[in-house]
């Protein structure tokens, strides 16, 4: 793979849904800005070939997507295995060899984010086991799973993420950090990237403002409420994440994309958010192409 600056259209669809019109608007913006890759998010009822032709019309190609599951007792593992097989088949058909894998849907943690709320050792053990099962299925189907840090899920804190990665090991799960979610959970991104650099196959890049990083600064605020303030996430370079250290920590043989993902733009428009982020990437990611 050649390292590209890719875009995740999450701010386009998070409120308006994943309609063709919403994605068309996002793809048009990405084409104008200069992106050449986009998170592979194939709409229901569309084949991989149809999706590939669709985004190709905007000069875009598929970049790594994300498989999400609670991995806890709320899901049927057999159902998750079958869903993982279908997901892998789609991604492999698009020419991809890896995916992010994440958990982001524990109610107590969405209500009180980034502090490991409602910790349950048994739930963590079960989630690690279930995630391992799904990772092995994805690998068998030709897709390399990379753990993607995300506030709100069962693998939220440094302890939980380390348990997952160390218990399962590099032959089962790789590493796909998110600089914003690590920072919000109180984990220094560059140090964590160095720790698991030999397993890194993808990365999501977003910045954070300082306003809501300290738990006491967001007392009583849910995940969505904190995000909606527009004082949590920031475009790379506008917040407090040490991106010079992050870039320096990325191994020289890194062969994944650099995906921009600013869930809630801090500036006046989604277009401007992605333009700022793309231009930052062109200046600060010398190994990447548009």
- pTM value is 0.96
pLDDT tens track for 136-180: 999 999 999 999 999 999 999 999 999 999 999 999 999 999 999
pLDDT of residue 289: 56
Q: Per-residue pLDDT for 286 more than 90?
A: no
In a domain, 290, yes or no: no
Number of separate helices (H) and strands (E) present in the chain: 12, 11
pLDDT of residue 138: 98
Two tokens, residue 210: 């300082």
User: For the residues of 230-245, what is the DSSP string, one character each?
Assistant: TSSEE-TTSSS--HHH
Query: Phi, psi (5° rounding) for residue 242?
Result: -80, 85
Domain total of the chain: 1
% of the chain exceeding 90 in pLDDT: 94
Query: Phi, psi (5° rounding) for residue 30?
Result: -65, -40
pLDDT of residue 2: 64
pLDDT of residue 102: 97
In a domain, 289, yes or no: no
In a domain, 132, yes or no: yes
Q: Per-residue pLDDT for 212 more than 70?
A: yes
pLDDT tens track for 66-75: 999 999 999 9
In a domain, 251, yes or no: yes
pLDDT of residue 104: 87
Q: Per-residue pLDDT for 7 more than 80?
A: yes
pLDDT tens track for 75-120: 999 999 999 999 999 999 999 999 999 998 899 999 999 999 999 9
Mean pLDDT of the chain: 96
Mean pLDDT in residue range 172-196: 98
Q: Per-residue pLDDT for 290 more than 70?
A: no
Domain that holds residue 68: 5-284
pLDDT of residue 3: 80
pLDDT of residue 103: 96
Q: What is the CATH number of the domain that holds 217?
A: 3.20.20.150
In a domain, 249, yes or no: yes
Helix (H) or strand (E) segment spanning residue 89: helix 77-93
In a domain, 119, yes or no: yes
How does residue 215 score in pLDDT terms, banded at 50, 70 and 90?
A: very high
User: What is the distance between the alpha carbons of residues 184 and 233, in angstroms, rounded to a whole number?
Assistant: 9
% of the chain exceeding 70 in pLDDT: 98
In a domain, 177, yes or no: yes
Mean pLDDT in residue range 32-58: 96
């Amino acid at each position: 793979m050649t390292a590209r600056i890719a875009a995740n259209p999450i701010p386009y669809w998070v409120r308006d849904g994943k309609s063709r019109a919403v994605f068309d608007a996002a793809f048009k913006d990405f084409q104008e800005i200069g992106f050449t890759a986009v998170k592979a998010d194939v709409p229901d009822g569309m084949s991989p070939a149809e999706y590939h032709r669709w985004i190709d019309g905007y000069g875009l190609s598929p970049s790594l997507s994300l498989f999400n599951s609670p991995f806890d007792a709320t899901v049927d593992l057999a159902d998750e295995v079958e869903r993982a097989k279908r997901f892998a088949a789609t991604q492999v058909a698009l020419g991809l060899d890896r995916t992010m894998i994440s958990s982001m849907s524990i109610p107590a943690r969405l209500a009180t984010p980034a502090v490991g709320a409602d910790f349950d050792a048994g739930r963590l053990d079960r989630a690690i086991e279930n995630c391992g099962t799904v990772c092995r299925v994805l690998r068998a189907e030709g897709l390399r799973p990379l753990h993607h840090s995300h506030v709100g899920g069962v693998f939220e804190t440094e302890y939980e993420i380390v348990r997952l990665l160390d218990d399962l090991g590099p032959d089962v799960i790789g590493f796909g950090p998110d600089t914003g979610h690590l920072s919000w959970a109180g984990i220094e991104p560059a140090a964590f990237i160095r720790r698991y650099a030999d397993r890194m196959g993808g990365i999501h890049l977003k910045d954070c403002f300082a306003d809501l990083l300290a738990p006491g600064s967001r007392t009583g605020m849910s995940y969505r409420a904190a995000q909606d303030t527009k004082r949590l996430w920031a475009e790379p370079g506008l917040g407090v994440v040490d991106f010079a250290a992050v870039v320096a920590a990325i191994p020289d043989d890194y062969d994944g994309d650099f995906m921009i993902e600013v869930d809630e733009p801090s500036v006046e428009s989604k277009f401007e958010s992605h333009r700022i982020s793309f231009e930052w990437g062109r200046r600060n990611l010398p190994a990447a192409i548009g």
